[in-house]
Amino acid sequence: MTRASNERGFSLVETLIALAIIAGMTGVAYRTLSQTAQVGTGMTERRDALLVAQSVLDMATSAGPAVSASSGQSGRMTWRIDAQPFEGEVRRSGPAVEEVIVSVAPRAGGKALVTLSGLRLAR
């Protein structure tokens, strides 16, 4: 038995279609991996900013010596402390209370990644 000449194997069109499908799938996989890496980097940066903000807020609201600087740098982050009178419900006869707000941004610039606030006795 002999085969017909059009049944011998893959045609050029079939091969090109298979290559196009493989190229498309590779492109989608690359894009997905790239986005996953960017999200991971962003999460790491926000975690680092949160740790810096918690440390600075703890120093600013502790009963120990006052933080001498209202801004500074820690690693790849810059931080800023703002204090303002607390407008919440505080007893009239109690001591004056300030709200301390700590903002942390990347050193390269940009918007704040983390903003935390706490209370302390007015100084």
Which CATH number characterizes residue 69's domain? 3.30.1300
Is residue 1 included in any domain, yes or no?
A: no
Is residue 27 included in any domain, yes or no?
A: yes
Residue-wise pLDDT tens digits, 1-25: 455 555 667 788 999 999 999 999 9
Sheet holding 114-121, edge to edge: 71-74, 77-85, 97-106, 114-121
Among candidate residues 12, 77, 13, the one with its CA nearest the CA of residue 50: 77
Residue-wise pLDDT tens digits, 28-59: 999 999 999 999 988 999 999 999 999 999 98
Give how many domains the chain has, as a whole number.
Answer: 1
Is residue 5 included in any domain, yes or no?
A: no
Is residue 57 included in any domain, yes or no?
A: yes
**H/E run at residue 117:** strand 114-121
Is residue 78 included in any domain, yes or no?
A: yes
Mean pLDDT estimate for the chain: 85
Is residue 63 included in any domain, yes or no?
A: yes
Task: Work out whether the CA dihedral 37, 42, 46, 51 comes out positive or negative.
Answer: positive
Is residue 112 included in any domain, yes or no?
A: yes
CA distance linking residue 91 with residue 93, whole number of Å:
5
Note down the domain range covering 70: 10-121
Q: Residue 121 has what pLDDT?
A: 85
